[in-house]
Structure 1
Amino acid sequence: MTAAITPAPIPAAVGPRDSGPDGRPLLLLLHGFGSHERDLPGLVTRLGEGWDWLSVRAPYALETGGAAWFPLANGGPVDRSAIDAATAGLWEFVDEHTSGQPIVPIGFSQGGLMVSELFRSRPETVTSGALLSGFVDPAPRDTDAALKQAPPRVFFGRGTEDAVLSESIFGNTETWLREHADASIKVYEGLGHAVDQQEIEDLREFLAGLGLV
């Protein structure tokens, strides 16, 4: 028997209104390691009209004042127990604060991995998302077969000069996405571990193509 996962609760979130989402398709913003819930909302106005949004803080507090979705791997395997707890906590938050509207998660770096965890854990609920300088855990999961039957539409963008994540990590991510998703893969010459205007424009075009707004 598989042990129950204890969720790691989401400690804070911001959105455009105190009352929560208004029922429109929702962009769920997931920041990177060491950042916070106010890092990504500035993107929203540049991603097209018609979206609602929520930006959440990762559950694991860091001494630097930011937060993480899971501990840094330091070249080793990712901490599955921490990721599973963070995913369970994120689903608790989503279930409490949404009411069935389409959800498109957008994650930067570590937040990108969390995007993949959302559509891998509930492939019938999250059918699209975006990884910005992000990555996936390539270890097989029971739900991966369902993804191949109905591949999620995924935007994956990264730079050629990223000094945080290695080419091998990006290569594994691209391979996994080609096998399990309907992936739009963009590589930006000269871009580091960041997002630039061209990537934002490409992401906006990808979101428009989903036909949700």
Structure 2
Amino acid sequence: MTMKMKHLYIKGKNEEAPVLLMLHGTGGTERDLLGLAELISPGSSVLSVRGNVLENGMPRFFRRLAEGVFDIEDLVYRTGELHEFLAEAATEYGFDRSNIVAAGYSNGANIAGSLLFHYKDSLKGAILLHPMVPLRGIKLPDLSGVPVFIAAGENDPLCPPTETKELDALLREAGAVVEVRWDRFGHQLTSAEAHAAAAWFKQTFAIE
């Protein structure tokens, strides 16, 4: 079997807890968000993945043409690649493919959002930290009951509030149960957001 994406898998103590799929921001690695995973769900197994695209030496999950302008063809291809990788990883490591919750920041949040936009049942839920609308003009799959937490900054120069509100509306129209948390800050991931995401996760998935 070919594992096409560089990654880390850390087996957790709670086998019923969702597996956390951790997806870094531009320039990050598969180690960047391990602390966040520990905060969100200490008992969960963690699958942390590095993006396969390099932009000026910085790992990303898909190419972009300019800041805020995605290479849609590459986004669609890379989303499919990640979706296939999750099935391979579930077989390789012996976890339940239907029990994955993604937690992504910035570029990682965008690829997680793209999984939701393209594949029904790809994710059991998602924590999207400073996401954008991955792409427009497609019909989303049925996301009935899929819980999604979005953290957004009111002063985020990369993801203006209109972007967050549009993403929220698109996900809700597809049936997702969305909670949006606003902070006054910009694009950085804050400790308050991380703790809010952890509280949401524990409540949503009834994890002790």
- TM-score category, normalised to shorter length: 0.7 to 0.9
Check if 1:100 corresponds to 2:96: yes
Deviations 1:1-27 (A, max 9, x none): xxxxxxxx42x112336xx99955210
Checking the alignment, whether the CA contact within 8 Å between 1:28 and 1:103 is kept in structure 2 is: yes
SS of residue matched to 2:48: strand
**AA of the residue aligned to 2:129:** L
Structure 2 gaps of 5+ residues are: none
Q: Share of identical aligned residues, percent?
A: 24
Extract structure 1 runs of 4+ deviating beyond 4 A: 20-24
CA distance in 2, matches of 1:62, 1:71: 7
Equivalences, count: 197
**Residue 71 and residue 27 in structure 1: after superposition, are their counterparts in 2 closer, same or farther (change >3 A)?**
same
Does structure 1 residue 33 correspond to structure 2 residue 26? yes
Check conservation: 2:114, 2:135, Cα contact below 8 A.
Answer: no
Residue 70 of structure 1, CA deviation: 1.8
Choose from 128, 131, 135 the match for 1:134: 131
Q: 1:184 aligns with which of 179, 182, 200?
A: 179
Partner of 1:167: 161
Structure number with the higher strand fraction is: 2
Decide which of 86, 92, 116 is 1:119's aligned counterpart. 116
2:55 paired with 1:55: no
For the residues of structure 2 that align with 1:21 and 1:135, how far apart are their CA atoms? 33
**RMSD (CA atoms):** 2.4
Q: What residue is the counterpart of 2:149 in the other structure? A: 155
| TM-score (normalizing by structure 2) | 0.83
Deviations 1:116-169 (A, max 9, x none): 222233322413101101122352334x2522xx14210000112222333332
Give the unaligned 5+ runs of structure 1: 1-8
| 8 A Cα contact 1:21 1:97, kept in partner | no
Give 1:175 deviation, angstroms.
2.7
Take 1:49 and 1:38, find their aligned partners in 2: how far apart are those partners?
16
CA distance, structure 2, for counterparts of residue 138 and residue 82 of structure 1: 12
